[in-house]
Amino acid sequence: MCGIAGIISSNLSKDKAVVALQRMNNAIAHRGPDAEGTWNDGYAYLGHRRLSIIDLSDSGTQPLHSYDNRYVIIYNGELYNYKELRLQLQRAIQGTNQQPYFFKTQTDTEVILAAYIRWGADCLEHFNGMFAFAIYDKQEKNIFIARDRMGIKPLYYAFQNNTLVFASELRSVLQSNLVDKKISQDALVDYLQYQTVHAPNTIIGEVKMLLPGHFLTIENNEIKTTPYWKLEKNINYASIGKSYEEICKDVRTLFYEAVERRLVADVPFGAFLSGGIDSSAIVGAMSQISPQQVKTFSVVFNESEFSEANYARIVSEKFKTEHHEIKLNPQDFLQQLPEALNAMDHPSGDGPNTYIVSKATKNAGITMALSGLGSDEIFAGYPIFKQSYKLEQQWWLNFVPRLLRVTGAAALTSFNKNVAAQKLAQILAKPQVNFNYAYPLSRQVLMDKQVKQLLQRSDLPMNSVYRFLRLLEFDDKKHHLSKYSIAEISTYMQNVLLRDTDQMSMASALEVRVPFLDYKLVEYVLGVDDKHKYPHTPKKLLTDSLQELLPAEIMNRKKMGFVLPWQVWMKNDLKHFCEQNLSQLENLGFNPHAVNKLWQAFLKGDPQITWSRIWPLVTLGNWQKNID
């Protein structure tokens, strides 16, 4: 796991490009404290910061050149099937011009390079891992940049004046001083609605994110991005016709294989353990597969209503892990909060919780940790799955005249002032009552009326989540839940959870691996019929598949999620901190009166203005200070 940075340009002087690349590399030093490397030929300028996970020797330092010195690669990520591919690439294929590759190192980096030399862009079909990499052909002066299927590893880029600038982090791209730092007003709308900006856009107008499952090339002095994998086009329907017991067996096998792949490392590793179903399953599988004692890490709160400590201890005791509790109180959190927010590369309404546990895990001597992220999205673990499924059964609402629905919605909100009632009223008032209109509201943080007031706008661009659903080519009547999974994965998970996990863990040079997002497991589960996944109980298919692994106390407990007690802290210990950062929003064109109105409503306990509506504004204000 590392950080990459690069510039491709024939317009820049060599001296200017070299200085720009060094600034970019310095900006991501935290991602790779073990080694630094740069290389250029006057057209391509490539930089790398290394966090050593596989092959700890100096031979793994990047940029890495092919044995014939024609190609050079910079790479961030892990290729879990690199050993199998290495054996394949060491052999020539009779009857073809494909010759054996002569490896110089034991790294997965060189396997990616060799695979590209043999298969070109088709190499991506052979990879199982998380990655963002760039390969430069010195002979043809071509650049090839790719990102993994699920979007676990980020890749930001900007293309101006025939100059391509790219990196693992937004701050690195901006530190080149080759890109305009102007904030996009439409991106601000997206951020206020969803506490993030959805790829391919970013908060900076000129900077984009390479979409998951895509690769990038330059053709005729223009950027071209090409999809090599789309989730909705690669669903595995092998479960059709199988019994439920057979399906559970398949899920169990795929899950264990996914965990086993992610235990390949030459450094100490552990796991995040909240005591929920997901992390407990990961820890249980690790304890059965790994020959060494598993190290686990949990956040423990003084506020008992937020603490999952007892559940984590049950799991730790069952699997005999070396357990570490990270005790947290408002004073501890307040002390670490500024550094957590300063580590935030792209503004987000989430993340500090991951920063705290990642820092503590790294301080305990762990360089790689496994996480249960992704389980809720593929196994229908969120309430939105049940709500959306029921909505599909209420198609008859579309035969009720819209005027009557609007009238009923108004009556509903007059009696119930909470956020859920407000969103239900808006669903009823839409042109149609269906998933495409309802889902974008489910994850929306601030409503359109509030966004207009904050940004002093009379109209807003098309909602980014609604736009995604309009373009989604998936309408399988037996797999409604899979459609919801695709929506969750492609919006909230990839643009909030994965982005925050990367930026907050890598701030402490900790690599986080996510077994539930093994693409083979994801493709299979999304091909399972709704009748086997409908959430009568939390993540039924997963718990049935792993019932011999998970303790009963964990399977039957109420879901809490990995949540900090913000509501209490923001009104007390963090109150001044919040107010300081909210005042910064005026620099972004926010209406200070509208900001203060929201803040005061939150302090007074308005049920429509919860902490999750305010915190993204606080983090945005803090990020704005750091960007200048």
State the sign of the Cα–Cα–Cα–Cα dihedral 354, 356, 358, 359: positive
Strands 44-50 and 295-301: unpaired
Angle at 234 between CA 529 and CA 520, to 5 degrees: 80
Distance CA 250, CA 527 (A): 12
Domain boundaries, the chain: 2-229, 233-293+309-321+348-379+483-554
Write down the pTM of the prediction.
Answer: 0.94
Contact 583, 622 (CB under 8 A): no
Distance CA 339, CA 626 (A): 12
pLDDT at res. 236: 97
Confidence of residue 409 (pLDDT cuts 50, 70, 90): low
Distance CA 13, CA 42 (A): 8
Closest CA to 584 of 625, 626, 614, 615: 625
Q: For residues 415-434, give the mean pLDDT.
A: 76
Distance CA 268, CA 369 (A): 9
Residue 401 preceded by cis peptide, ω within 30: no
Q: For residues 158-185, give the mean pLDDT.
A: 96
Contact 538, 559 (CB under 8 A): yes
Q: Which of 10-14, 35-39, 194-198, 427-431 has the lowest mean pLDDT?
A: 427-431
Distance CA 3, CA 348 (A): 20
Q: Per residue in 271-330, pLDDT tens?
A: 999 888 999 999 999 999 999 899 998 877 665 555 678 889 999 999 999 999 887 776
Distance CA 156, CA 506 (A): 16
pLDDT for residue 70 is more than 90: yes
| % of residues, the chain, pLDDT over 90 | 67
Strands 71-79 and 129-137: antiparallel
pLDDT at res. 34: 84
Q: Retrieve residue 573's tokens.
A: 């210990």
pLDDT at res. 57: 67
Residue with tokens 């309009």: 470
Residue 440 preceded by cis peptide, ω within 30: no
For all residues of the chain together, what is the average pLDDT? 90
Q: Per residue in 460-518, pLDDT tens?
A: 999 999 999 999 988 777 788 999 999 999 999 999 999 999 999 999 999 999 999 99
pLDDT at res. 140: 95
pLDDT at res. 55: 62
Q: What is the DSSP letter of 491?
A: I
Instruction: Decide which of 3.60.20.10, 1.10.1740.10, 3.90.1580.10, 3.40.50.740 is the CATH code for 2-229.
Output: 3.60.20.10
pLDDT at res. 322: 93
Instruction: Decide which of 3.40.50.620, 3.40.50.720, 3.90.1150.10, 3.20.20.140 is the CATH code for 233-293+309-321+348-379+483-554.
Output: 3.40.50.620
Q: Is 564 left (phi over 0), alpha (psi -120 to 50) or beta?
A: beta
- Helix (H) or strand (E) holding 579, with range, is helix 575-582
pLDDT for residue 450 is more than 90: yes
- Helix (H) or strand (E) holding 342, with range, is helix 330-342
Strands 44-50 and 2-9: antiparallel
Count CB neighbours of 162 within 10 A.
13
Distance CA 75, CA 1 (A): 8
Q: Per residue in 141-159, pLDDT tens?
A: 999 999 999 999 999 999 9
Closest CA to 565 of 604, 605, 599, 612: 612
Confidence of residue 94 (pLDDT cuts 50, 70, 90): low
Reported as half-sphere exposure (CB side, CA atoms, 13 A), residue 12 has a value of 26
pLDDT for residue 536 is more than 60: yes
Q: Retrieve residue 17's tokens.
A: 């490009």
Contact 250, 523 (CB under 8 A): no
196 contact partners, CB below 8 Å, separation of at least 6: 190, 346, 347, 348, 349, 495, 496, 499
Q: Is 248 a catalytic residue?
A: no
pLDDT at res. 265: 80
Confidence of residue 56 (pLDDT cuts 50, 70, 90): low
Report which residue type is found at 455: L
Q: Retrieve residue 20's tokens.
A: 């720009």
pLDDT for residue 534 is more than 70: yes
Report which residue type is found at 453: Q
Distance CA 524, CA 242 (A): 13
Contact 151, 168 (CB under 8 A): no
Cα→Cα distances 212→153, 231, 412, Å: 9, 10, 40
Report which residue type is found at 419: V
Q: What is the dihedral of CA 533, 536, 540, 541, to 10 degrees?
A: -20
Top-confidence residue, 430 or 270: 270
E strands, 329-378, where? 368-370
Confidence of residue 242 (pLDDT cuts 50, 70, 90): very high
- Helix (H) or strand (E) holding 226, with range, is strand 222-227
State the sign of the Cα–Cα–Cα–Cα dihedral 536, 439, 152, 235: positive
Confidence of residue 557 (pLDDT cuts 50, 70, 90): low
Closest CA to 366 of 226, 267, 235: 267
Distance CA 375, CA 403 (A): 40
Distance CA 209, CA 346 (A): 11
Q: Retrieve residue 175's tokens.
A: 């530190």
pLDDT for residue 20 is more than 90: yes
Confidence of residue 565 (pLDDT cuts 50, 70, 90): confident
Contact 251, 525 (CB under 8 A): yes
Distance CA 52, CA 134 (A): 18
Q: Retrieve residue 38's tokens.
A: 């740069």
